[in-house]
Amino acid sequence: MRNRRWSYFFLLAGIAAFLLHDATALAGHQAEESKTRKEEGAILQFPVPPPPFTPGIFPCSECHREIKPNQKRRVLKDEHTNIVLNHAQGQRWCLDCHDAANRDKLRLVSGEKINFSESYRLCGQCHGDKFRDWKVGVHGKRSGEWNGKKEYLLCAHCHNPHDPRYKPIQPLPPPARPETIR
Amino acid sequence: MSDKETRERKIFRLSRRKALKGLAAGVGALALPGKDASASFWEAFFQKNFRELGKDDLRKVLARMEKEYSAQYGRAVKVKATPPIEGVQYGYALDLSRCIGCRRCVYGCVRENNQSRDPQIHWIRVLQMNKEKGVYLEEAEQYYNPAKVPEPGHFYMPVQCHMCKNPPCTKVCPVQATWTEKDGLVVVDYNWCIGCRYCMAACPYGARHFNWKKPGLPAAELNPDTHILGNRPRPVGVVEKCTFCIQRTRENPGRYPACVEVCPVGARKFGNLLDPESEIRYIIENKRVFIFKEDLNTQPKFFYFYAT
């Protein structure tokens, strides 16, 4: 044709558009991937103080190595009689959360075994909204640095897993009435 | 004898006018600090408003204060003047679905911020209200004292300085002893405050408190890490209030205010409103948030929310 400059221009524009679209799509995909990867890493990396075990009870395998697991749902009569389950007690019992084969681990619904120091993953299975808030720092006791390292606690540090409802406590004294202040 | 004769003969004759003048002068002289008073009295008297102090003046002022407080309390007291951090606007959120009214925040604040124990000053006031009626201040109770909290059917709402963006208190101060800093904190220069209490009348949240007497602070309970605009020991006759623990939060990395840290149920949240990753932003964007006395347009940085 007479004016070939236009065809060159359109060819160039087409290639540029194709590359740009690809680049942004790739970047977006990478960002999303890195976000989920970061979240995956974060789930495993919450620095928490040690779980609040009753003194001497852990490691559980010290006793349970010898004992044959009894999968029958029942009220325990020989040991652990002080633990009264007040947490979905109609639907679950001990071995739904505690691993039958290895009592030093907890058991997720998927069958995955986790450590007691990661017990928030177990609670998070049913209490997903609290878990989501806890990860951001909105649920639970807040300490540490507001623009640095936040200090996290395990769910079990405030909520007894067998009887989780927060118990009423005694309040500190009320303020002095102004007429009593001389 | 006439006046003319008295003057000629140079006799001293005491008249009523002379007597009153002498008495007034004598009483005036007594009111001045005697030779026991340190030079620091005059330095404090002539100290300029905090915002007018140059770097050297400020250093001298801080040194003088540290010397004074250390001598007064028998402990090494540090007085800082940490400036605001760039790019920070402090925000505070309080979870009404979690607060159980235990008042640990009130006393944690008292310990951290060197409030007077006698007469008692609390910067945080916890209101107990009925769940059926909601936020109904006419029936709010601050002197509740049951055996256990939370009492069934009630909820608890602690109130402290809201660090308003449009604060009524700074507008009415006749001497500009209180102002809003760059990071959003409303602060008081205790050496400039004249104690007129206009700001206390203007504050709709009852967040400001006055030192009617010399603060009674036992030396053993003093927190020696202080900020000049925050928790340093206050003199008599000045207004004080919550400063979001300016001595903690302005550090880098900054600590949480004492009330946030001590709350046993985690009902208090704090952070930088300008940081999109902070928990305060998460709360504002995702939770049901409300502002206390919103109709007054104070635009506070203190938000109440429901986490559930």
Q: Which residue of B has its CA nearest to A176?
A: B120
Contact A174 B143 (CB under 8 A): yes
Q: Which residue has the higher pLDDT, A117 or A36?
A: A117
Average pLDDT rounded to a whole number, residues A109-137? 93
Q: Chain B within 8 Å of A169 (Cβ-Cβ)?
A: yes
Location of structure tokens 């008073």 = B37
Average pLDDT rounded to a whole number, residues B108-125? 95
End-to-end, the C-alpha distance of chain A in Å comes to 103
Residues of B in contact with A174 (CB under 8 A): 103, 142-145
Residue B46 lies inside a defined structural domain of this protein: no
Share of chain A above pLDDT 90, in %: 37
Q: How far is CA B96 from CA A133, B159, B181, in A?
A: 15, 12, 28
Residue B260 lies inside a defined structural domain of this protein: yes
Q: How many domains does chain B have?
A: 1
Ranking A47-61, B23-37, B269-283 by mean pLDDT, the lowest is: B23-37
Asked whether the predicted pLDDT for residue A75 surpasses 90, the reply is no
Taking Cα atoms as reference points, which of B205, B204, B192 lies closest to residue B239? B192
Domain hosting residue B155, numbered range = 90-306
Contact B279 A136 (CB under 8 A): yes
Asked whether the predicted pLDDT for residue B67 surpasses 60, the reply is yes
Q: Which spans in B101-217 are helix H?
A: 104-112, 168-172, 198-202
Q: How confident is the model at residue A34 (pLDDT cuts 50, 70, 90)?
A: very low
Average pLDDT rounded to a whole number, residues B296-300? 96
Three-state DSSP class for B251? coil
Average pLDDT rounded to a whole number, residues A22-37? 49
Nearest chain B CA: its distance from A130 CA (Å): 9
Residue B84 lies inside a defined structural domain of this protein: no
The predicted structure's pLDDT at residue B33: 67
Residue A129 CA to residue A2 CA, distance in Å, equals: 68
The predicted structure's pLDDT at residue A22: 63
Q: What angle do CA A122, B267, B239 make, to 5 degrees?
A: 160
The predicted structure's pLDDT at residue B38: 66
Question: Average pLDDT, whole number, for chain B?
Answer: 93
Q: How confident is the model at residue B104 (pLDDT cuts 50, 70, 90)?
A: very high
Question: Could you tell me if A139 and A133 are in contact, meaning their C-beta atoms sit under 8 angstroms apart?
Answer: yes
Question: Could you tell me if B188 and B177 are in contact, meaning their C-beta atoms sit under 8 angstroms apart?
Answer: yes
CB burial class (10 A; 0-12, 13-18, 19+) of residue B307?
Answer: buried
Question: Could you tell me if B163 and B244 are in contact, meaning their C-beta atoms sit under 8 angstroms apart?
Answer: yes
Three-state DSSP class for B269? strand
CATH of residue B149's domain is: 3.30.70.20
Question: Could you tell me if B267 and B246 are in contact, meaning their C-beta atoms sit under 8 angstroms apart?
Answer: no
The predicted structure's pLDDT at residue A2: 67
Residues of A in contact with B265 (CB under 8 A): 141, 158, 166
Residue A58 CA to residue A94 CA, distance in Å, equals: 16
Question: Could you tell me if B293 and B204 are in contact, meaning their C-beta atoms sit under 8 angstroms apart?
Answer: yes
Question: Would you kindly state where each structural domain of chain A is located, as residue ranges?
Answer: 57-164
Residue B77 lies inside a defined structural domain of this protein: no
Q: Which amino acid is at B190?
A: Y
Question: Could you tell me if B254 and B135 are in contact, meaning their C-beta atoms sit under 8 angstroms apart?
Answer: no
Contact A147 B255 (CB under 8 A): no
Nearest CB to B120; choose among A139, A148, A181: A181
Q: Chain B within 8 Å of A51 (Cβ-Cβ)?
A: no
Size of interface A-B (CB pairs under 8 A): 107
Q: How far is CA B257 from CA A8, A20, A63, B89, B181, in A?
A: 65, 48, 45, 15, 17
